[in-house]
Structure 1
Amino acid sequence: MDSVSIKAILFDLDNTLIDTAGANRRAIQKVEALLGARFGQDDVRKIYKGFELKLLQETYDPSGSVGIDQNTRLEQLAIPDPVQALLEDLRETHKLLLLTNGVAQTQWEKIKAVRCEELFHAVVVGGEHTEEKPAPSIFQHCFSLLGVGPQNCVMVGDSLDTDILGGVNAGVRASVWVNANGRDVPPGASARPDYTITTVLELPKILSALK
């Protein structure tokens, strides 16, 4: 390894710091249970499928054209205590930035719900910018906000197509893939991570290796 120091860490939000996919599943199950007390099974299935479709569209559709009451999902979201403790420790030695794609209103509702804004030196929501991850422009914006160069940064996220590809193209010192399911990098993956971990709690060992 060269002697360039790691001064900043860029974190993805969904399924990196918070279990958005799990919260979605729990929200759908809760809605299904509530509906089951009021409607017949066939009606429940129809409503349930519609709710599931809208939730998925809201999560992945960058147009933001789908709007539903998110309270059921938001109440399921939280940053686990060990992850919060890790961020608090890292904040003492590194500049931390939260970089998340998605509709601005939706992402800010999640950020406020988990009360994580104060853990970061800066928060960048892709929906508020012309381009989102993996576009180099939004990473350059992050570097500028923190006053660091890409070679001083690590990008941590769960998506090969946005977090890892974006970090690699932006020239970060290292890209760290949070691979909770233990799956292999697909042969045709858009980018290959420098490091793979199953949880962000393993990040300190990567940072030690980069010193």
Structure 2
Amino acid sequence: MESNMDQTTESKTSIKAVLFDLDDTLVLTHTADKAAHQAVMELLSRREHPFLDQQAIIDAFVKGFINQPWDPNHQIDVTEWRAQIWCRALEAQAIRDIELAREIQHCFDTTRMASFQWAPEVEQIVQRIKLKGIKVGIITNGHPKVQRAKLSACRADEIFNTILVGGEEVHQKPHKSIFLKACELVGTRPEESVMVGDSLKTDIQGGINAGYLSTVWINNHGIDYSPHELVKPTYIIRNFSELPQVLSLY
């Protein structure tokens, strides 16, 4: 565990709420994505296209997905939008088959959701936090349909006191409004709240913007962090299991 906090001035402020990011914080989404990509490759291997470059199709989809994961004008259903991304990836292999693209998207979604479960120790640690009388919540960015499906897959509403999906709010992370609303919903003040997430840009900066007591960056991607970074989390941990050590400081 690393800290950017001046230990000589650290106060013993009582934590009333811990708010979490979802993707690659509570759930290792990149692992679920990997399983989904593998299922797609297996589906494609059963097709009678001898010169099909399966990895190239996956790579093209990922590139298109990163560029625009859903219709910015909200005219096309997100599942159909992503099927169209697969369709363009197939077309790059001279295959024009929207029905195959839809089948691939269904395979991807089904496998991904089946793999979308809590990261190791998450459920136990969150329950331990709750036993201390501390509220817990989720603040996640993304398309409402997609994020709600993820939240349902891991049964998040059975554990967390409140859940906010950025796509359902006026502003997404890192805008301070969604962080302040989370505090309001769980009945705490920002200066009594801690934000935990894997993204410096959205989770950590958002917690700072809202005036949270502290922020905890889970660097589970092994990113090289420089003390000269513009976004400075209060604490840096390598995985979720180290979180109780941070919270014990308060």
The reply to whether residue 87 of structure 1 matches residue 126 of structure 2 is yes
**What amino acid is aligned across from residue 58 of structure 2 in structure 1?**
Y
**What amino acid is aligned across from residue 199 of structure 1 in structure 2?**
N
Size of the alignment, in residue pairs?
Answer: 209
User: How far off is 1:100 after superposition?
Assistant: 0.4
**What amino acid is aligned across from residue 7 of structure 1 in structure 2?**
K
User: How far off is 1:77 after superposition?
Assistant: 1.3
User: How far off is 1:86 after superposition?
Assistant: 1.0
User: How far off is 1:72 after superposition?
Assistant: 2.1
Maintained 8 Å contact 1:36/1:44: no
Q: Compared with structure 1, are the counterparts of its residues 146 and 139 closer, same or farther at alpha carbon in structure 2 (3 Å cutoff)?
A: same
Aligned to 2:44: 35
| Structure-2 separation of matches of 1:33 and 1:187 | 44
Q: Compared with structure 1, are the counterparts of its residues 56 and 20 closer, same or farther at alpha carbon in structure 2 (3 Å cutoff)?
A: farther
User: How far off is 1:39 after superposition?
Assistant: 3.0
Maintained 8 Å contact 2:204/2:215: yes
Q: Which runs of 5+ in 1 are unaligned?
A: none
Maintained 8 Å contact 1:154/1:173: yes
Q: 2:113 aligns with which of 74, 83, 98?
A: 74
Q: Compared with structure 1, are the counterparts of its residues 43 and 177 closer, same or farther at alpha carbon in structure 2 (3 Å cutoff)?
A: same
Maintained 8 Å contact 1:26/1:73: yes
Q: Compared with structure 1, are the counterparts of its residues 41 and 55 closer, same or farther at alpha carbon in structure 2 (3 Å cutoff)?
A: farther
Aligned to 2:91: none
Aligned to 2:35: 26
Q: Which runs of 5+ in 2 are unaligned?
A: 1-9, 83-104
Aligned to 2:96: none
**What amino acid is aligned across from residue 88 of structure 1 in structure 2?**
Q
The reply to whether residue 48 of structure 1 matches residue 58 of structure 2 is yes
Aligned to 2:19: 10
Q: 2:200 aligns with which of 154, 160, 166?
A: 160
| Structure-2 separation of matches of 1:62 and 1:12 | 23
Mapping for residues 86-105 of structure 1, pairs under 5 Å:
86-93=125-132, 94-105=134-145
Cα displacement string for residues 100-153 of structure 1 (whole angstroms, at most 9, x for unaligned residues):
000111000001011122111100000000100000111111111111111100
User: How far off is 1:201 after superposition?
Assistant: 1.4
Q: Compared with structure 1, are the counterparts of its residues 114 and 41 closer, same or farther at alpha carbon in structure 2 (3 Å cutoff)?
A: farther
Aligned to 1:123: 163
Q: TM-score under structure 2 normalisation? A: 0.76
% identical aligned pairs: 36
User: How far off is 1:181 after superposition?
Assistant: 3.0
**What amino acid is aligned across from residue 48 of structure 1 in structure 2?**
I
Aligned to 2:94: none
**What amino acid is aligned across from residue 126 of structure 1 in structure 2?**
G
SS of structure 1 residue aligned to 2:248: helix
**What amino acid is aligned across from residue 32 of structure 2 in structure 1?**
A
**What amino acid is aligned across from residue 175 of structure 1 in structure 2?**
T
| Structure-2 separation of matches of 1:102 and 1:178 | 19
Maintained 8 Å contact 1:97/1:123: yes
Aligned to 1:195: 235
Q: Compared with structure 1, are the counterparts of its residues 62 and 171 closer, same or farther at alpha carbon in structure 2 (3 Å cutoff)?
A: farther
User: How far off is 1:207 after superposition?
Assistant: 0.7
| Structure-2 separation of matches of 1:179 and 1:193 | 11
Cα displacement string for residues 27-56 of structure 1 (whole angstroms, at most 9, x for unaligned residues):
111110221122335334364345444554
User: How far off is 1:2 after superposition?
Assistant: 1.6
Q: Compared with structure 1, are the counterparts of its residues 105 and 15 closer, same or farther at alpha carbon in structure 2 (3 Å cutoff)?
A: same
